[in-house]
Every structure is written in structure tokens, then in C-alpha cells.
Amino acid sequence: MNIFPKCEFRDLKPNLSHPLARQVARAASRGYGSAVSLLCLLPLWSSPAWAGNYTFTSVIDNTGQFSDFEAVAINNSGVVAFKGDMQSGVEGIYRTDGTTTTTIADTSSGEFSFYAGSTSLVSLPAIDDDGTVAFFIYTNYNPAIFTGSGGFTAAIVNSGDTNCPFYVAWDNPCIRNSEVSFSGQLRGSGGNPFGPQGVFTEPASGGGGYNTIAQDGGMFLSGSPFGGTSINAAGLVAYCGYLADGTEGLFVGPDGATNLAQTGPGSQFYSLDSFPKISDTGLVVFWATLTNYTEGDFISSNGIVTQISVPGGGLPDDQYPSINAAGTVACFGSDSSGQWAVLAGTGSVVDKVIAEGDSLFGSTVIGLGSPGNNGLNNNGQIVFPYSLANGVQGIAIATPANGPPPASPLLQIQQPDPLHVSLAWSTNAAAFGLEAASSLPASIWNPVTNTPVPNGQQFVVVLQIGSAPQFFRLRQQ
């Protein structure tokens, strides 16, 4: 069972068996929580861990015509798209509601393939609420993006078709409300086959009527490809790319209208080569490498970027994290006991949904795959590949049994005068305590000893501003 479809980019299972490796990984995951420097004086979004109780349903397994399951996606109706291999050796993109499985595109006719040499891109399908699936595939070894719902497939990018305006597609697509987002390169003119690089959207019906979101040149580095994209219900597109000065950035909107994060002098980020996911409410999650070369998942909310953590340790480390409209995050990583797990929670803190070694469907989990950045829907359902000790492999949906996650307490930071800063949070969050650290990532968070003073419906702590920066978070006691 290929449960780590991202292995062509990097190893998703670093060796955490060595005590020092575990210590480093856990320190990295604890280092952020929810924090902001006094020098920033900005509001902060923080939340408790919430994974809730889940019920698990297997939607398809290898006891039938399929032998292997890879990348998965789920829409708001609970319908699943996946890349799978059949017992016959045919590979394809499929859709299932748990009862009926529909072929979207497969290799049986020889038109499509999923391999074009050692640099082949793994296909990660996305599924719209009407059941239309968008996917990356190869046609005669040419990179392509298609959409389909069974039967006819529409070409969004087909490098092998000279009538297609695109010379190449660089990464997997995303689809939302019948609009597809992707990165690619347009065809050139006047004898030059290479046109501009960019981020684009196109109707799921295809036909070449594309819209340019961002293009190389100007603020972006000329000749440099863009990375992964995602699109939300409002048509906002999140993407990564290189700026003209050579730094990397994460952006939302036309021509980099909103810069969420950037590498370069003074930045905490070393690399942002990511596949950002934007929710229907504009929240963005992404994977990145910090300047100390630790990796992790991050959430951007209201201009504040916070590293996602697991209570008690653990390491959310998924190149393709997902987020829904309610702010629930789903990703893959290790839980507090060091087991590989599907993780979920509200805001910047996630906890175990299911881990290797847990019981599932009458057996024991011996392998799990990432939900991917299309693996969480707005109802909180999470889809993931699994492998059991009894030899069964399949795809399961985790459905929250406890209803929606609790609201995230907001830490508000203001400067009432040049010498002081006030920190305030709701009195409904009485179970939370204020903690501080001197740097990020932080291995130690110390409780703020000043007693919170009730002021109307808020607790308030007033601190004197010192010469060194401080970072704060709310943590459930």
C-alpha cells in the first residue's frame, strides 16, 4: 500500500526512534503554539486541542477489485475521490460514495499514465461538491490537468495538444464551485515555445478560457515557475512563488495582493516551497522549513502566522495540510506518544484522530496515509488511506461524533501607552492561562505570573514593555 504519496519530494517518515530526534521534533512542535511578539502588538488567534470523538467508516478496500490506494480527497457531501490501483494492474482516478465506484480516468486505454520517468509528479485529485474531479495525469508522457465526473473528461491543460494555450502544468490542481486553480506555463509565440509562467484559474468545463492570477516578471522572478495552488468558494486563490529578489513567498489574490509569509533577512522561514490550502473563510494552512531547518505546518489567520502543535509533544509535519471553513485543521504527523497519526483540531493545536497501533474495523492499524490538502470537508469529515494487520487496505472517513469544535479564544494585544502593553481574552476561557517565551521556536513557555484582572467580559493583564521581544500564547490548563 503506497500510503505516502509524497515520497518523491521528501521522506514523510523521518526516523523518530532516536531519543535526540524525538526531543528535537517535539521541541519544534511545542515552539510556536499561538504566539506574537510584543514588538508586533497584533491580535493573536489561539485555541485548545480538539480532535473530539470520531466514528470511522470504510468506503472501499482491497477485498474487491482494487489492490492499492494512494491520494484521497472528500467533498462536502462525503463523496471521495482517490488515486487507486486495480488487481488487474490498471491505475486510475476514481470516485466513490461508499456504494458505487465511478471511473474518472484510467490507464486501460493507453491514453493516460501516471509515470513519466524519475521526476514524475504524484497525482493528488480534488473533488468539487457536484462530484467533478480535477486531477493531474500524463498523456503520452506530457503533463496534463483534466476534469471529469465519469465518462467524458475535459482538458484544462494538455501539453501534448498544440491547440492548448498552456505549454505545461507544474503541479496538482484544486477545484471549488466549478473553477479550477493551477500553476503552469503558457505557450510562447514567434518561434519561442516558452511563454509566461503563472498561476491560473479556468472553468471546470475546460475550453481554454483561463484567468491569470499571477505571472512571472514584475514583482515575481522572471522565468521562475510557481508552486501549488488552492481555491476557495469565493474564488480566492492561495499559491507560492519566487519574488524578484529571489525570496520565496505565500500569497493570496491577484498579483500577490496578500503576502502571508516570506523568506529572507529577518524571516523565521528558510523555505516556503509549499502547497497552501485556503478555507472558504480565508484561513490558510501550509508546510514550511524554518531557519533552524526544522519543518512543520503553519496557519495564517488575520495576518498572524502560527506553527501548529500537538499537546504533550508530537509533530504535525505534512506537506499537504487541510483546513475547513470552521477553522478545523487536518494533517498527518506524529502524536504525543510518537506514533504516526492523522491529526485534527481547531486553529493552531491538533491532536490524534487515529494512530498506528489503534484498533480499526476489527484489526489493528499498521499504516496510515495523509488526508492531503483536499482530505477535510466543511462538515469536519476527514478521509485517509489505512492498512491493517489482517492484510486489509482501504480508504476510511472519520466523522466527528461530538459536533463542531469549540470556539477558539482570541488573545488581544494593545499598547495603551508607550511603556505598557495589555493582553486580554474572554472570561469564557477561564480554563486558559497566559504563557510567555523569549524567542521562537521556544522549547520553554513560562506562565505569566501577573494575575488576570476581570474587566467586563474579559480578563486583562498589563505588562511593562522591556528591551527584548516577548511572545505570548493562551494554553488550556
CATH 2.130.10.120 in the chain: give the residue spans: 19-38+48-405
DSSP label at residue 407 = P
Using alpha carbons, list the distances in angstroms from residue 80 to 4, 148, 272, 384: 18, 14, 29, 10
CB distance 277 to 321 below 8 Å: yes
Residues 6 or more apart whose CB falls under 8 angstroms from that of 110 comprise none
Cis amide linkage into residue 173, ω under 30° from 0: no
CB 208 within 8 A of CB 165: yes
Q: Are strands 295-301 and 304-307 parallel, antiparallel or unpaired?
A: antiparallel
Residues forming beta bridges with residue 267, ordered by sequence position = none
Here the cell at position 463 is 505588562
Distance CA 23, CA 173 (A): 36
Give 328's strand partners: 346
For 475, the enclosing helix (H) or strand (E) is strand 471-476
* Contacting residues for 315 by C-beta, under 8 A, at least 6 apart: 16, 25, 26, 28, 29, 296, 333, 334
- The answer to whether 398 touches 384, Cβ cutoff 8 Å, is yes
Torsions phi, psi of 26, nearest 5? Answer: -70, -35
Where in the chain is CATH 2.60.40? 411-476
* Residue reference for cell 480578563: 459
Residue 103 is placed in which grid cell?
471511473
How are strands ordered across the β-sheet holding 44-45?
44-45, 410-417, 420-426, 458-464, 453-455
User: What is the CATH code for 411-476?
Assistant: 2.60.40
Would you write out the chain's pLDDT as a tens digit for each of its 477 residues? Answer: 443 333 222 223 333 332 223 222 323 332 323 333 333 333 333 333 344 589 999 999 999 999 999 999 999 999 999 999 999 999 999 999 999 999 999 999 888 999 877 667 788 999 999 999 999 999 888 899 999 999 889 999 998 888 899 999 999 999 999 999 999 999 998 778 899 999 999 999 987 789 999 999 999 999 999 999 999 999 999 999 999 999 999 999 999 899 999 999 999 999 997 789 999 999 999 999 999 999 999 999 888 899 999 988 889 989 999 999 999 999 999 999 999 999 999 888 999 999 999 999 999 999 999 999 999 999 999 999 999 999 999 999 999 987 555 555 778 888 888 898 899 887 767 778 899 888 876 778 899 999 999 887 788 999 998 888 888 888 776
The backbone torsions φ and ψ at residue 10, rounded to the nearest 5 degrees and listed phi first, read -165, 165
Residues 140 and 166: their CA atoms lie apart, in Å, by 16
Looking at 2.30.110.10, 3.30.1330.60, 3.40.50.620, 2.130.10.120, the CATH number of the domain 19-38+48-405 comes to 2.130.10.120
For residues 336 and 49, what is the distance between their CA atoms, to the nearest angstrom? 12
Backbone phi, psi, residue 230, to 5°: -150, 160
Query: What is residue 151's predicted lDDT score, i.e. its pLDDT?
Result: 86
Whole-number pLDDT of residue 412: 82
Closest CA to 229 of 183, 270, 191, 198: 183
In the prediction, which pLDDT does 428 show? 65
* Residue 444, pLDDT score: 85
